[in-house]
Structure 1
Amino acid sequence: MARTESTMLPLGTIAPDFYLKDTNSNDTFSFEDLKGSKGTLVLFICNHCPFVHHVIQEVVMIANDYRVMGIGVIAISSNDVVKYPQDSPELMTEFALENRIDFPYLYDESQETAKAYQAACTPDFYLFDNQNRLFYRGQLDDSRPGNGIPLSGSDLRGAIDALIYNRSLKEPQKPSLGCGIKWK
């Protein structure tokens, strides 16, 4: 299991737009179509990564907890499906169904969106404010497969709470850690 850290895109960066197909609905969406009134969480995931499998239930709980509070949630898979067929759009739909992902799970076939976000790993988390400026990028929490630390989502939940309630955010933000994006 390769360990790759997120690149930590500079805070304040404007969310790169995209136009990608949602494997849950077969509709195509842009960032603007899916953003929330209070902010937007963009996460890069894939079907096969053990780091994603480790966190997916907590991610879905966070999405369910915060979407009702005005946070848009968008998942994107950018992996090369020729070399990693388990990340194909058809299997993305199955993965979403199995894991109760009812927010958009977009397929970035060209990998241009991952490059624009400087995504490096799965999972990789980006939280944007209501002006589409990057407010937080980093880890979900300190839990990793096999390290014995229970999942809490504390870092990401703390960032979303700070955004919603206009609080200062603790520094430094720790990078996410996961499997590297499977580039073409």
Structure 2
Amino acid sequence: MALTPSNMLPLGTKAPDFFLLDTVTENHMNFTDIKGEYGTVVMFICNHCPFVIHVNDELVRVANDYRVAGFGFVAISSNDIENYPQDGPNFMKEVADRENYPFPYLYDETQEVARNYDAACTPDIYVFDRNERLVYRGQLDDSRPGNGIPLTGRSLREALDALLGNKVVSPEQKPSIGCNIKWKK
């Protein structure tokens, strides 16, 4: 496992669109399908990364807390399933069901969407405002596997609360850190 930070896509970037398979419903979805009234959270995750496994419960809590407030959420896995078969669509559906994901879990087979978002690691989190402009990219919070810091989702929650309050999201943002996206050769 390579410890990899986010690339920190420039704030203000328009949300790249996508058309990907939701492994749970077996329907294809695009950005508009998941867009929320106040904003949209796009998360690059995968099944096997210990950093994602560590934050899964808090990702679900944050999504459950903020979906009712008008935010859209989606998770995308872009890993190479030839070399990492545990990240394939069938296993993605199993993980989504087991973890009670309240958001679609999309499969980025070509890895084009991850490249368009400049995603580097799992988890990698992006928040877009109601105008589909990037206002936050980075970590969920300061908790990492083994560091003893409790999961709170603080960094992501602060960004979402700012949008709810019609305030500017602080540009002081910490990159996420996790496993690198497993790129195809």
Interval of TM-score (by shorter of Structure 1 and Structure 2) = over 0.9
- Note if 1:166 corresponds to 2:181: no
Deviation at 1:171, TM superposition (A): 3.8
Equivalent in the alignment of 2:109: 109
The within-5 A match list for 1:1-184 is 1-184=1-184
Letter matched to residue 31 of structure 2: F
1:144, 1:98 → 2: CA distance? 22
Residue 32 of structure 1, CA deviation:
1.1
> Deviations 1:43-85 (Å, cap 9, x if unpaired)?
0000000000000000000000000111000000000000000
Amino acid of the structure 1 residue aligned with 2:147: N
Work out the CA distance in 2 between the residues paired with 1:133 and 1:33. Answer: 16
Q: How far apart are 1:172 and its partner, in Å? A: 1.5
CA distance in 1 between partners of 2:62 and 2:20 (Å)? 23
C-alpha separation in 2, matches of 1:142 and 1:107? 27
Post-superposition offset of 1:168: 2.8
Distance 1:11 1:171, change over 3 A: closer
Counterpart-to-counterpart distance in 2, 1:86 and 1:57: 20
Q: What's the secondary structure of 2:64's corresponding residue?
A: helix
Amino acid at match of 1:26: E
- The 4+ residue runs of structure 1 with deviation greater than 6 A are none
Aligned partner of residue 64 in structure 1, secondary structure: helix
User: In 1, Cα distance between the equivalents of 2:179 and 2:91?
Assistant: 18
Give the superposed CA RMSD. 0.7
SS, match of residue 13 in structure 2: coil
Question: Do 2:63 and 2:102's aligned partners in 1 also have CA atoms closer than 8 Å?
Answer: no
Q: CA deviation at 1:170?
A: 2.9
Identity of aligned residues (%): 62
Offset, 1:160: 0.5
Rounded to whole Å, the distance in 1 between the matches of 2:9 and 2:164 is 21
